[in-house]
Structure 1
């Protein structure tokens, strides 16, 4: 198995004036985040596995993942799965490749942003993401691309952190931490209403569970998990 092929299968779209801003790697934050998520991998999975276990159950043989980072979700994929991984942060790539090889995952690495996927319409049966829509420049554009590349009847399984209810202590903390959190975690926003964005994305059916983590990472403790399906 060759888990290191980075050749894109399709020509990227030409940029337009409305194209979302491309991800720009940072020489310090990129390596820091790769190390951070590697070091805390088991702890973060301990917090999230009850939701991920049900979300990522019975995935098809080919899966598109947005923002796989260092490969936290590879443990939920069967050996032999073809993973189309959209990860524009080069600091994550070596760890992602190594982990895919250990897990016997056939990795197809794409370095485009999720706002403009270099995949044909109706080309995949399943898209997954976890803690990704908080960092992209335009969640609506990403969700439109997910809807575009899914085949009829395909599913999008997601886990994201969201804004706490207005007027709560946690919402005030999210607001206070906004700028340093955004800088350290490469654009991550603690205050997005991603449930509304997903529900407005044109899927035929969406089920969402809201829950709260109990972790020291307070700004991201309000979360949602769910599945959206494209009309068949």
Structure 2
């Protein structure tokens, strides 16, 4: 007897598209770009300096990090938010960057094993469903010796005013819903240290903004 049973493949996770929220975030982050650049620019320049001509970026958004790529570079952009994609394409044309746009989640980029020399992200790991899964995916697609370069906001130390503000902000649903799942309480430094990279350099710092829960950050380079 022939067995015609077909194995069921696991369903790929999909981004929850929301027309109003998506358009708001695309407009909000384009408008806020000069403010964020003043706060985060020195740290981005430290870790995104001298990027190679081919880069993978998780959560490229509206293209805030295109300014750090060389003209004629190729950016493989993992960006599932449809509202961000048209601004990203426009920004890539303005910066002279060739865009390979992938409508995928950071947990499942669809890229081959050992296929990237450099992966970057900024203000992304706070929003993903499973940071550990994303970091495992980064390690999978990086070639040995390749680097993951990141600028992310993180949980503040216990007993600080910032930590209290983060805990208070966690309770209302509006922040998380509005900013695509953003959490101010993630120990992303701990997640990076547990991810199994061969070498990890991390700088801790604060930015000064009216958004107190957002003010604790890390930037660094993880080597596969």
Same fold (TM over 0.5): yes
1:63 and 2:63 matched? no
Q: Following the alignment from structure 2 to structure 1, what is the Cα–Cα distance between the partners of residues 145 and 24?
A: 39
- Counterparts in 2 of 1:108-119, with a 5 A limit? 108-119=100-111
Q: Following the alignment from structure 2 to structure 1, what is the Cα–Cα distance between the partners of residues 183 and 153?
A: 9
Q: Following the alignment from structure 2 to structure 1, what is the Cα–Cα distance between the partners of residues 164 and 178?
A: 19
- List alignment gaps of at least 5 residues for structure 2: 1-8
Q: Following the alignment from structure 2 to structure 1, what is the Cα–Cα distance between the partners of residues 16 and 182?
A: 14
Partner residue, 2:130: 138
RMSD between aligned residues? 1.0
1:33 and 2:28 matched? no
Partner residue, 2:187: 193
Higher CA-based Rg = 2
TM-score normalised by the chain length of structure 1: 0.90
Q: Following the alignment from structure 1 to structure 2, what is the Cα–Cα distance between the partners of residues 228 and 205?
A: 6
- List alignment gaps of at least 5 residues for structure 1: 1-13
Off by >6 Å, runs of 4+ in structure 1? none
Q: SS state of the match for residue 40, structure 1?
A: helix
Partner residue, 1:228: 222
Q: Following the alignment from structure 1 to structure 2, what is the Cα–Cα distance between the partners of residues 24 and 206?
A: 32
**Selected match of 2:67 from 56, 71, 75:** 75
* Alpha-carbon offset, residue 54 of structure 1: 1.1
- Counterparts in 2 of 1:106-185, with a 5 A limit? 106-178=98-170, 179-185=173-179
Partner residue, 1:4: none
1:211 and 2:198 matched? no
**Most deviating of 216-225 and 187-196:** 216-225
* Alpha-carbon offset, residue 15 of structure 1: 2.5
